[in-house]
């Protein structure tokens, strides 16, 4: 069964450094998402992406964040200058249909980011 | 803004017994979907069940079923014949547009 994959599974970085989190969505999916889960808290929406542009973003997704689909398979989240509070689990998700309300989103296994 | 509330931070159930996890939500939308996701210790988010708000019939997936009360904005998850592998955090989520809005989760422990 196709699945969303994410690399790396764990990343440790120094405050102020740039990190790039990578995701490979399910191949025929069209909508891509990033979510964040700070330890012990709920999962929060960051951004959705369709047709090579941001479709919606939350207030968390400020100027230090960016997303890109550099080729036909990868979907990346870049954090330009990491802060301690960026430490979290970052989930990528994808869904097959174009902006369908309630279309199931399939999640990757997550990248655990630790900022020191 | 839509909100999702899970009032039970922790629940436990004896193996083979039935447990119900509660979820309420607040929305002014008429067309939306509700989900339950399971997050085991590996922290992967796994879809358990999905419910369309316009359908009166409650969704069922094997041992998992929901009790959807649209007027009360309630969406509880029933797990029958609980198994050790059901131990996880369970998140209720609402979707009326592209993004999912999650509750704070319920940690389910299975007692052997």
User: Which of B32, B44, B52 comes nearest A107 by C-beta?
Assistant: B44
Residue B97 has what pLDDT? 75
User: Which of B47, B98, B102 comes nearest A104 by C-beta?
Assistant: B47
Q: pLDDT averaged over consecutive 10-residue blocks of chain B (112 residues)?
A: 91 97 93 92 88 90 96 96 96 88 95 96
Cα A51 to Cα A55, A69, A98, distances in angstroms:
9, 9, 10
Q: Which residue has the tokens 């094997």?
A: B62
Could B33 and A102 be called an inter-chain contact, meaning their C-beta atoms sit closer than 8 Å? yes
Confidence at A102, pLDDT banded by 50, 70, 90? low
For A108, name the nearest residue in chain B, comparing CA atoms only: B44
CA distance A19 to B65: 40
Could A101 and B37 be called an inter-chain contact, meaning their C-beta atoms sit closer than 8 Å? no
Query: A28 CB contacts (<8 Å, ≥6 apart)?
Result: A96
């Amino acid at each position: 069964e196709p699945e969303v994959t994410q690399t790396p599974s764990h990343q440790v970085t120094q405050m102020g450094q740039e990190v790039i989190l990578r995701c490979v969505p399910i191949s025929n999916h069209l909508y891509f998402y990033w979510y964040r889960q700070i330890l012990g808290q709920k999962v929060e929406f960051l951004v959705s992406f369709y047709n090579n542009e941001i479709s919606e973003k939350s207030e968390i997704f400020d100027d230090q964040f960016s997303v890109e689909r550099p080729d036909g398979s990868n979907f990346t989240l870049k954090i330009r200058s990491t802060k301690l509070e960026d430490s979290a689990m970052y989930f990528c998700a994808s869904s097959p249909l174009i902006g369908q309300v309630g279309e199931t989103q399939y999640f990757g296994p997550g990248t655990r980011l630790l900022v020191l | 803004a839509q909100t999702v509330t899970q009032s039970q931070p922790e629940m436990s159930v004896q193996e083979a017994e039935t447990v119900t996890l509660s979820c309420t939500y607040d929305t002014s939308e008429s067309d939306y979907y509700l989900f339950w996701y399971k997050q085991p210790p590996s922290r992967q988010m796994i879809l358990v069940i999905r419910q369309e708000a316009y359908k009166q019939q409650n969704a069922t997936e094997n041992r998992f079923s929901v009790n959807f009360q649209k007027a009360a904005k309630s969406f509880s998850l029933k797990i029958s014949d609980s198994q050790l592998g059901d131990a996880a955090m369970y998140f209720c989520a609402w979707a009326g547009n592209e993004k999912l809005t999650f509750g704070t989760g319920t940690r389910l422990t299975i007692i052997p």
